[in-house]
Amino acid sequence: MADGRALPQNHRPLGLCPKHRAGQESVYRAVNSKRPVNLDISTIKLPLPALTSITHRITGIILFIGLIFAFWALDKSLSSPAGFYAVQDALANSLLAKLVAWGLLSALAFHFVAGIKHLLMDLNIGVTLESGVRKAQITVVVSAVLVILAGVWVW
């Protein structure tokens, strides 16, 4: 070794270990196979847990961008009483403002519920395929209920 210590006699570099050599060979065969590769994402049927995970990421992006509108409305409402009434009037009478508010609340609801699902997976709770599908179903149902409740509250 570089610091002068000797390697153990049974030491082999990672690439020479039979277990890793077999793994390298299988990767080589897969990369160099002549099988057709389907790169059209629209034809791939993703399972529900994958869809909820992808949607969780998308709602995170929506919330990040939506913070621009939320902070603008907060700044305007705190700047003066007239600004507060302008934001209040927009949320009460503007269809676009209601849609944005409902969209952000819906994204927050789904992101929150799916985030709890991901935290449970990080704690090794329900990491089997069956429980993953079940948790994804629960995520969709609970999120749908929260989205409907947010719609009732906004409208």
Token pair in block for residue 118: 């991901």
> What is the rounded CA–CA span in Å between residue 110 and residue 9?
55
- Structural domains in the chain, CATH included, are 41-154 (1.20.1300.10)
At residue 121, the pLDDT reads: 93
pLDDT at site 40: 80
Indicate if the pLDDT at residue 11 is higher than 60: no
Rounded Cα gap, residues 115 and 119, in angstroms: 6
118 vs 2, higher pLDDT: 118
Q: Is 56 annotated as a binding residue?
A: no
What the block records as the tokens of 78 is 């705190």
Question: H or E element: which one contains 1?
Answer: none
Read off the pTM. Answer: 0.72
pLDDT digits (tens, 9 = 90+) for 30-83: 666 777 777 787 888 889 999 999 999 999 999 999 999 999 999 999 999 999
pLDDT one-digit tens code per residue, 92-140: 999 999 999 999 999 999 999 999 999 999 999 988 999 999 999 999 9
Give the pLDDT band of residue 2 (cuts 50, 70, 90). low
Helices and strands in the chain: count of H runs, count of E runs: 5, 0
pLDDT in the model for residue 37: 76
- HEC letters along 5-67: CCCCCCCCCHHHCHHHHHHHHHHHHHHCCCCCCCCCHHHCCCCHHHHHHHHHHHHHHHHHHHH
The candidate with the shortest Cα–Cα distance to 52, out of 99, 148, 120, 151, is 120
Residue 81 has which token pair?
């009483």
